[in-house]
């Protein structure tokens, strides 16, 4: 039997505002700050306190909604989602339910199969919970509660069930993260849990259409909670597709349930079944008025949206003649794309932008990668400052003029990165300028041939491959600084004599 997977994602993204969603407490990095240091009566749920909406969080929410081409609702309603858990001091989470901030958006993703439009159902504002840490001490178990994160603004973005593979789900997650970063509303630090996924997964038999031309019915879904990395998202979906397909193949039915993901075992596990699904008893938050946003505010936010990753990706291919792969890597992050465009502005018109892209994606990225030891080097602005785009452009220009060869250029870039000095200065100080002087090179070639008579003879007897050895000898004499084209030509000339 062939199955078609159907996936809908719910994404929670923390909004990087200064203060929390409903109080003035500072938003801190909850993975490093001392526990319970940014807590007040409002976010710790004291009786008698009242929430006040953070305007910046609303602005950030609208910014995301517009970037995702949603309809922003002029009036949305905060609602209480009631449940008991130790990380939720009020006993309810303020969220939005029946009237969310925005609806009906779309996100275009790219996979190996090309581009695909994923419809978005809704975008709404809510608040994060606190964090629990479970510890063992003296043979007893404790749960430690940290409320620094309680009340941090969260945006929930819900897709329609338009995704059909783990791969597509990952592409969706990454595209969304890139947009959130471009908009400056979220750091994208996955390992800090600032973006979390919930995957709704079902499978259906392939090729079965619904009645009367309706789209085929959806299978029964499971929902995998708390996926904190792209890898976990991908693996959990693959696992569920496989598990559900086997159940249906065996003639049984999938049970609708909420699942957790065990990273170590690489398997999902049941958290609760449909029967004990929560009844959250949603009702409009009585302590907050309806959230009304004026059209001119929406228009103003819209007018300030930056160019988004996909538009920039298409423009980079079109304007700079980059490959799709290079354009994708260079536009993943705004800072990287900005850097590239600054470098290109510093190049003479005779040099292809592609050359600057190669230097960035090759040597520069690998230097930054080594220096930062994490894949997050993109965001390390200190590293980006060591070689400014103008300085990279200067180096690329010098190489294109044949002043130094590729090998020397690598060394120069290394030193630029270490010392922050400019290419011209380093080249002068180290005497790296490439030598093209023909009589000087002719002298080196002649010496090398004299010193290696056997190799010269075997070349003349037809073993032409030995020329590479002789080339190496000449370059060694020139300490790598001789112009390789001139050396090759001179070698061929003298060997032919």
Using CB under 6 A as the criterion, which residues of the chain lie in contact with ligand ADP when the complex forms?
6-10, 158-161, 200-202, 218-219, 221, 223
The residue nearest ligand ADP at its CB is 8
Binding-site partner at residue 218 among ligand ADP, Zn ion, none, CB < 5 to 8 Å by type: ligand ADP
434 neighbors 414 (Cβ within 8 angstroms): no
Q: Which is nearer to Zn ion, 37 or 74 (CB)?
A: 37
- Within 8 A by CB and 6+ apart from 145, the residues are 36, 86, 87, 130, 131, 132
Q: Which is nearer to ligand ADP, 163 or 344 (CB)?
A: 163
Q: Which is nearer to ligand ADP, 8 or 105 (CB)?
A: 8
Length of the chain: 497
9 neighbors 169 (Cβ within 8 angstroms): yes
Binding-site partner at residue 7 among ligand ADP, Zn ion, none, CB < 5 to 8 Å by type: ligand ADP
160 neighbors 121 (Cβ within 8 angstroms): yes
Binding-site partner at residue 43 among Zn ion, ligand ADP, none, CB < 5 to 8 Å by type: Zn ion
Q: Which is nearer to ligand ADP, 10 or 189 (CB)?
A: 10
In the chain, % helix, strand, coil (3-state, to 5) comes to: 40, 20, 35
Write down the least CB distance from residue 75 to ligand ADP, Å.
21
Q: Which is nearer to ligand ADP, 1 or 135 (CB)?
A: 1
Q: Which is nearer to ligand ADP, 28 or 218 (CB)?
A: 218
- Within 8 A by CB and 6+ apart from 53, the residues are 21, 22, 78, 288, 291
Q: Which is nearer to Zn ion, 40 or 442 (CB)?
A: 40
Give the residue among 327, 392, 330 at the shortest CA–CA distance from 363.
Answer: 392
Structure tokens at 342: 């600054």
Binding-site partner at residue 167 among ligand ADP, Zn ion, none, CB < 5 to 8 Å by type: none
Strand pairing partners for 19?
A: 26
Binding-site partner at residue 6 among ligand ADP, Zn ion, none, CB < 5 to 8 Å by type: ligand ADP
Element at 281 (helix H, strand E): none
Residues 24-43 that bind Zn ion (CB under 5 A): 25, 40, 42-43
Write down the least CB distance from residue 189 to Zn ion, Å.
22
CA 55 to chain centre: 27
21 neighbors 152 (Cβ within 8 angstroms): yes
- Token match 């120069």: residue? 412
Write down the least CB distance from residue 198 to ligand ADP, Å.
7
Write down the least CB distance from residue 62 to ligand ADP, Å.
21
Binding-site partner at residue 40 among Zn ion, ligand ADP, none, CB < 5 to 8 Å by type: Zn ion
354 neighbors 330 (Cβ within 8 angstroms): no
Residues 41-60 that bind Zn ion (CB under 5 A): 42-43
Write down the least CB distance from residue 220 to ligand ADP, Å.
7
Q: Which is nearer to ligand ADP, 161 or 309 (CB)?
A: 161
Binding-site partner at residue 159 among ligand ADP, Zn ion, none, CB < 5 to 8 Å by type: ligand ADP
Question: What is the bridge-based pairing of β-strands 140-146 and 153-159?
Answer: unpaired
Helix (H, G, I), strand (E, B), or coil: what is residue 382? helix
Element at 251 (helix H, strand E): none
Element at 412 (helix H, strand E): helix 406-419
Q: Which is nearer to Zn ion, 22 or 384 (CB)?
A: 22
- What is the spatial distance between Cα 194 and Cα 9, in angstroms, rounded to a whole number? 16
| 107 lies in the binding site for Zn ion (CB under 5 A) | no
| 336 lies in the binding site for Zn ion (CB under 5 A) | no
Binding-site partner at residue 25 among Zn ion, ligand ADP, none, CB < 5 to 8 Å by type: Zn ion
Chain residues that interact with Zn ion, rule: CB under 5 A: 23, 25, 40, 42-43
């Amino acid at each position: 039997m062939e199955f078609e997977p159907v996936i809908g994602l719910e994404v929670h993204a923390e909004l990087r505002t200064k203060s929390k969603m409903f109080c003035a407490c500072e938003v801190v990095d909850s993975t490093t700050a001392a526990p319970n240091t940014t807590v007040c009566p409002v976010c710790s749920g004291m009786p008698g306190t009242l929430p006040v909406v953070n305007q910046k969080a609303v602005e950030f929410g609208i910014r995301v909604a517009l970037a995702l081409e949603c309809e922003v609702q002029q009036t949305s309603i905060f609602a209480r989602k009631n449940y008991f858990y130790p990380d939720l001091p009020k006993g309810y989470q303020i969220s939005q339910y029946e009237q969310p901030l925005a609806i009906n958006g779309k996100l275009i993703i790219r996979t190996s199969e090309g581009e695909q439009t994923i419809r978005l159902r809704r975008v709404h504002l809510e608040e994060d919970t606190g964090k629990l840490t479970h510890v063992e001490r003296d043979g007893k178990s404790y749960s430690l509660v940290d409320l620094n994160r309680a009340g941090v603004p969260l945006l929930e973005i819900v897709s329609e069930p338009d995704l059909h593979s783990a791969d597509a789900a990952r592409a969706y997650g990454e595209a969304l993260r890139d947009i959130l970063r471009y908009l400056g509303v979220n750091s994208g630090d996955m390992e800090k849990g600032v973006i979390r996924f919930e995957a709704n997964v079902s499978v259906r038999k392939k090729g079965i259409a619904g009645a009367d031309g309706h789209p085929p019915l959806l299978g029964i879904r499971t929902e995998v909670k708390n996926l904190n990395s792209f890898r976990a998202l991908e693996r959990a979906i693959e696992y569920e597709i496989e598990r559900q397909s086997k159940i249906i193949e065996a003639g049984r039915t999938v049970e609708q349930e909420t699942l957790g993901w065990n990273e170590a075992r690489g398997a999902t596990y049941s958290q609760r079944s449909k029967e004990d699904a929560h009844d959250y008893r949603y009702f409009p938050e009585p302590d907050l008025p309806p959230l009304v946003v004026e059209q001119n505010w929406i228009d103003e936010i819209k007018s300030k949206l930056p160019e988004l990753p996909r538009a920039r990706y298409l423009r980079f291919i079109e304007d700079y003649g980059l490959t799709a792969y290079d354009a994708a890597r260079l536009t993943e992050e705004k800072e990287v794309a900005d850097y590239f465009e600054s470098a290109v502005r510093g190049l003479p018109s005779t040099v292809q932008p592609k050359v600057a892209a190669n230097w960035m994606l090759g040597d520069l990225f690998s230097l930054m990668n080594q220096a930062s030891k994490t894949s997050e080097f993109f965001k390390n602005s200190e590293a980006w400052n060591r070689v400014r785009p103008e300085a990279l452009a200067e180096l690329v220009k010098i190489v294109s003029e044949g002043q130094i060869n590729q090998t020397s250029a690598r060394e120069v870039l290394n030193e630029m990165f270490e010392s922050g000095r400019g290419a011209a200065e380093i080249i002068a100080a180290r005497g790296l300028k490439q030598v093209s002087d023909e009589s000087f090179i002719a002298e080196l070639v002649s010496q090398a041939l004299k010193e290696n008579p056997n190799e010269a003879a075997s070349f003349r007897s037809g073993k032409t491959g030995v020329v590479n050895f002789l080339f190496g000898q000449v370059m060694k004499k020139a300490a790598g600084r001789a112009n390789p084209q001139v050396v090759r030509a001179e070698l061929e000339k003298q060997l032919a004599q």
